[in-house]
Amino acid sequence: MIALDHVTKRYGNTAALDDVSLTLGDVGVTALLGPNGAGKSTLFSVVGRLVQADAGTVTIDGRDVAETPSSDLARTLAVLRQDNHIAARLTVHDLVEFGRFPHSKGRLTVEDRDHIERALDYLDLEPLRDRFLDELSGGQRQRAFVAMILAQDTRYVLLDEPLNNLDLRHMTEIMRLIRQLADEWGKTVIVVLHDINFAARYADRIVALRDGRVVADADVSGFMRPDVLADIYDSPVEVHQIDGKPVALYYE
């Protein structure tokens, strides 16, 4: 379980996270929603110890991340960041191999190679393995980054807006994969999404942030209610049942 206890992170006068207490990881897939600037990426950065909180603690399976050696943390938690500033002149295979680094320390074992091949295969990247990242479409590149995260083989997988730059078909492919990671690989996935309906269709639990605070936290049926959604988005939202699943309509 990932537990945030009274976590605050400020940038100047802005509290990107404002006294957040939250546990994550009790279900397979948790979706994190909220408008731009709500603090979603900051939450991932604090959990992954990429930035230090000003107050509060984060523990993973009872262990304070501030006192966890980096190599232990990297074998427990993988974070797909929203902006990947990674060298474009890297091949798909090199990138996925990079995901094994916390385990291999640069010397690949047979087991490391198995993980790399399995991740490449799982994301249908075999034909693209020797391509450079800047020779891929946005969707292919996103899949390569997800394969890197998969090769890291961590219990916790945090994905920050993995649907960015993807068309509808690739969005549903990534969401199905996320579901499989939880259901078949036993991973605990926390994923930042923008679309309420993707969250409702694929996640088990939805947490909404606004202004650095948790404003809603419920299972899908508890979240997909007009009163709850109107509160979060400050505008009327209709919820319809289609094939027994809730679908939100939020155009004016």
Ligand X SMILES: Nc1ncnc2c1ncn2[C@@H]1O[C@H](COP(=O)(O)OP(=O)(O)O)[C@@H](O)[C@H]1O
Q: Which residues bind ligand X (CB under 6 A)?
A: 11, 14, 16, 34, 36-42
Does residue number 42 form part of the binding site for Mg ion (CB under 5 A)? no
Please report how close the Cβ of residue 169 comes to ligand X at its closest, in angstroms: 25
Judged by CB under 5 A, which stretch of 14-22, 62-70, 78-86, 147-155 contacts Mg ion? 78-86
Gap between the Cα atoms of 57 and 71, Å rounded: 19
Nearest approach, Cβ of residue 187 and Mg ion (Å): 21
Measured from the CB atom, the residue of 82 and 197 that comes closer to Mg ion is 82
Partner in contact with 14, chosen from ligand X, Mg ion, none, beta carbon below 5 to 8 Å by kind: ligand X
Whether the Cβ atoms of residue 39 and residue 17 lie closer than 8 Å to each other? yes
Tokens of 186: 């036993």
Neighbour count for residue 128 (Cβ, 10 Å): 22
Q: Number of H helices and number of E strands within the chain?
A: 10, 12
Phi-psi label, residue 129: left if phi above 0, alpha if psi -120 to 50, beta otherwise: alpha
What burial class does residue 69 get, using C-beta atoms within 10 Å of its C-beta: 0-12 exposed, 13-18 middle, 19+ buried?
A: exposed
By a kind-dependent CB cut-off of 5 to 8 A, residue 38 interacts, out of ligand X, Mg ion, none, with ligand X
Q: Does an H or E element contain 207, and which? A: strand 205-210
34 binds, among ligand X, Mg ion, none (CB under 5 to 8 A by kind): ligand X
- Nearest approach in angstroms of CB 129 to ligand X is 32
Nearer to Mg ion, 37 or 56 (CB): 37
Among 3, 25, 34, 41, binds Mg ion (CB under 5 A): 41
Hey, what are 106's tokens? 């640069």
- Minimum distance from residue 40 beta carbon to Mg ion (Å): 5
Beta bridge partners of 125: none
CB of 43 to Mg ion, least distance (A): 9
Applying CB under 5 A, the residues found at the interface with Mg ion are: 40-41, 82
